[in-house]
Amino acid sequence: MMTERFAGKVALLTGAASGIGRSVALRLASEGASVFGVDVDEAGLASTAAAIGERGGRMAWARCDLRRKAGCVEAVERAVAELGRLDVVGNVAGVNRFHQFADMPEDDWNLIVAVNLSAVAFVCQAALPHLLQTSGNIVNLASVAGLMGQAYTAAYCASKGGVIQLTRALAMEYVKSGVRVNAIAPAGVDTSMNVAIAFPENMDWKLVKPYMGHRGLASADEIAAVFAFLASEDARPVHGAIWTADFGVTAG
């Protein structure tokens, strides 16, 4: 039986149209949160909102381009205007591309860093004044790619490593406030982003295999369950943590 850990609370979630973001939106709404979803996929946002509504929950949403600071500020302002407050921020939106590093296009580097790192920073910057009022918290989606080197994903590794250090830096800066800042570092997750990845020609699979793990992919719902714990009062002592959810990939 689900609890009501988020009753009366408002959660802003990026990437809510699909994958982990959608699962987190459904999970928090099932535990009483009012959700504000952000994505560039309007049809996906509408689908997530409809699924939440069918279960008796509430989700408002907006299409915002988080590649620019203005879009991040807009997302936060619209969430607060629509739902009245802000208690949880989940930076879940992300993109990935595999490349031979020598062939990596500049546009792909800029896209990955903008969505995976800059957007996280600017959403946090815009949200923190509101979270200070509610003693709220931030949960960022990092990756084991930010904790270990992974071949063919230099931009992704750099962006997720940045998310991890951003999370730690904010945790230290706000350690005397009531705000908590944490991150989740999954390994492979069964989402459309991972299923649809295009791999470069002549890729050496022996370089990739060590970080594919031995227990398969996690489900988006499993990562959402970890998120729900970290965002809840059950995790009140947890601050500045990078929680791996990787079936032991980084244990060795």
Q: 151 to each of 14, 139, 157, 172, 233, how far by Cα in Å?
A: 27, 27, 9, 31, 38
- Name 68's Cβ contacts closer than 8 Å, sequence gap at least 6: 114
Q: Which of 148, 150, 146, 147 is nearest to 208 (CA)?
A: 150
pLDDT of residue 50: 98
Residue range 129-186, pLDDT digits in tens: 999 999 999 999 999 999 999 999 999 999 999 999 999 999 999 999 999 999 999 9
Catalytic residue among 152, 156, 174, 211: 156
pLDDT of residue 198: 73
Q: How many CB atoms lie within 10 A of CB 84?
A: 9
pLDDT of residue 246: 92
Q: In the block, which residue shows the tokens 């594919």?
A: 212
Instruction: Name the residue ranges covered by the structural domains of the chain.
Output: 10-243
Task: Look up residue 103 and give its two tokens.
Answer: 């062939």
pLDDT of residue 252: 72
Q: Using an 8 Å Cβ cutoff, are 45 and 119 in contact?
A: no
What value, to the nearest 5°, has the Cα angle with vertex 26 and ends 22 and 27?
115
Q: Which of 211, 155, 208, 152 is nearest to 185 (CA)?
A: 211
| Domain at 10-243: CATH architecture | 3-Layer(aba) Sandwich (3.40)
Beta strand extents in 64-190 (DSSP E only)? 88-91, 137-141, 180-186
Annotated catalytic residue 174: no
- Sign of the alpha-carbon torsion through 174, 77, 164, 181: positive
Residues of the chain with pLDDT under 50: 1
Predicted model pTM: 0.94
Task: Look up residue 214 and give its two tokens.
Answer: 């031995």
